[in-house]
């Protein structure tokens, strides 16, 4: 039994003192683990710095478990080891993303100039250091913009029908075909538009001759964007609490107005995220544009007539070009494409935040 001197004063909590491994010791274990790993890998000549990090991580986890088990106990050792493993997994997951961003910025900054953004590749030879992606930027904006105008209303309306109105076999059929379309390769979407629009429909408007166009590429991108928008919007609409709908119905608000004023604004941030994911995928597709738009080195502002390029196709072409100036153009075009998608995503997020229902 505790004596009077051992009892805590009134209003004062008792303090438990336990042994704890200091942070400096963990840093020391990490340094020793990396040193041993480097000595093993480079001494035996069996790999590079990647293998050093992998073996060093394994040694670090083993060292942490042994040290913490000796000082804090087995339970705390398991907790520290699993925490270190989770943090290490997070770092390993982030490293590829950081590496991609750093590579794009470091290699794509060489051609960030007015000539790249203000000229095309028309009449640019293999020994010409100039030439830019102005025609490809115009093509990407027009093709993705047209595809978004087609698919966003269709996708949102289809999701609203499935969640709010759909009943029976017809809804099951729609959901089934949306699931099937989700896994369609981009080359198949391009072949479908090539067989239907370019070879059958376009001759009606081009004196009986098939014609490539940016609009055909937009149709192919629409096939790829539609299932993503439908599924993401459907899931977001299902997350809207039922009491919001019931409260609106109890006030006598019609169903269509409840969906328009209550359901969609509540689910808008998630819907916008799904739309931006589909736009990012469409902007990065190369095969459909190559099949049905042809890819032109000249500037073409008319998406309904003649061939048209895109940034993804420009990267593909420049990456395979024999000119020593082509790789710099390819990296800058890739950086431009990523920056364009990032700007559109930020703008869409700000718009969705502004128009959603306040809590």
Q: What is the pLDDT along the chain (359 residues), one digit of tens a residue?
A: 445 444 555 554 545 556 788 888 888 988 999 999 999 888 888 878 878 888 888 999 899 889 888 888 888 888 888 888 888 888 888 888 888 889 999 998 888 888 899 999 988 888 888 888 999 999 999 999 999 999 999 999 999 999 988 887 888 888 888 888 888 888 999 999 999 999 999 899 888 888 899 999 999 999 999 999 999 999 999 999 989 898 989 988 899 999 999 999 999 888 998 999 899 889 989 999 999 998 888 899 999 988 999 999 999 999 888 888 899 999 999 999 999 988 888 888 887 776 555 55
In sequence order, which residues have a C-beta less than 8 Å from that of residue 226 and are 6 or more positions away? 151, 154, 155, 178, 181, 278
Q: For residue 341, which of 251, 299, 279 has the smallest C-alpha distance?
A: 279
What pLDDT is stored for residue 94 in this prediction?
87
What pLDDT is stored for residue 213 in this prediction?
92
In sequence order, which residues have a C-beta less than 8 Å from that of residue 31 and are 6 or more positions away? none
What pLDDT is stored for residue 331 in this prediction?
93
What pLDDT is stored for residue 171 in this prediction?
86
Give the C-alpha separation, 327 to 219, whole Å.
Answer: 30
Task: Give the global pTM.
Answer: 0.79
Q: For residue 333, which of 186, 187, 138 has the smallest C-alpha distance?
A: 138
H helix or E strand, kind and range, residue 215: helix 214-238
What pLDDT is stored for residue 345 in this prediction?
85
In sequence order, which residues have a C-beta less than 8 Å from that of residue 197 and are 6 or more positions away? 216, 219, 292
Give the C-alpha separation, 331 to 108, whole Å.
Answer: 5
What pLDDT is stored for residue 221 in this prediction?
94
Q: For residue 128, which of 297, 342, 308 has the smallest C-alpha distance?
A: 297
Q: For residue 60, which of 21, 36, 29, 22 has the smallest C-alpha distance?
A: 29
Give the C-alpha separation, 18 to 111, whole Å.
Answer: 59
Q: How far out from the chain centre does Cα 114 lie?
A: 28
Q: How far out from the chain centre does Cα 346 lie?
A: 13
Contacts 24+ apart (CB under 8 A), 48-57: 56/30, 57/33, 57/88
Tally Cβ neighbours within 10 Å of residue 19: 10
Q: Is the dihedral of CA 150, 223, 336, 286 positive or negative?
A: negative
Tokens of 292: 């049905």
Q: Identify whether the C-beta of residue 147 lies closer than 8 Å to the C-beta of residue 282.
A: yes
């Amino acid at each position: 039994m505790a004596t009077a001197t051992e009892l805590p004063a009134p209003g004062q909590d008792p303090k438990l003192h336990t042994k704890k491994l200091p942070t400096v010791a963990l840093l020391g274990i990490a340094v020793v683990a990396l040193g041993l790993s480097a000595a093993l890998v480079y001494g035996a000549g069996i790999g590079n710095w990647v293998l050093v990090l992998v073996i060093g991580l394994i040694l670090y986890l083993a060292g942490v478990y042994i040290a913490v088990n000796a000082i804090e106990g087995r339970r705390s050792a398991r907790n520290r080891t699993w925490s270190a493993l989770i943090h290490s997994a997070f770092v390993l997951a982030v490293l590829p993303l950081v590496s991609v961003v750093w590579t794009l910025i470091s290699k794509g900054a060489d051609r960030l100039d007015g000539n790249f953004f203000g000229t095309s590749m028309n009449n640019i030879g293999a020994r010409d250091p100039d030439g830019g992606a102005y025609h490809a930027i115009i093509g990407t904006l027009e093709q993705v913009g047209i595809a978004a105008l087609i698919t966003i209303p269709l996708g949102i309306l289809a999701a609203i029908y499935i969640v709010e109105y759909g009943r029976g076999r017809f809804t099951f059929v729609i959901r089934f075909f949306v699931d099937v379309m989700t896994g369609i390769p981009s080359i198949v979407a391009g072949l479908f538009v090539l067989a239907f629009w370019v070879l059958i429909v376009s001759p009606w408007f081009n004196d009986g001759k098939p014609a490539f166009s940016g609009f055909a590429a937009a149709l192919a991108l629409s096939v790829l964007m539609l299932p993503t928008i439908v599924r993401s919007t459907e899931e977001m609409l299902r997350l809207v609490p039922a009491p919001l709908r019931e409260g609106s119905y109890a006030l006598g608000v019609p169903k269509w107005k409840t969906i328009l004023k209550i359901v969609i604004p509540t689910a808008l941030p998630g819907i916008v995220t799904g739309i931006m994911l589909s736009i990012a995928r469409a902007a990065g597709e190369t095969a459909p544009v190559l099949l049905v738009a042809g890819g032109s080195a000249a500037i073409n502002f008319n998406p309904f007539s003649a061939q048209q390029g895109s940034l993804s196709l420009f990267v593909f072409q420049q990456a395979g070009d024999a000119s020593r100036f082509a790789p710099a153009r390819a990296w800058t075009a890739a950086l431009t494409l990523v920056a364009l998608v990032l700007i559109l995503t930020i703008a869409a997020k700000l718009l969705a935040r502004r128009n959603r229902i306040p809590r």
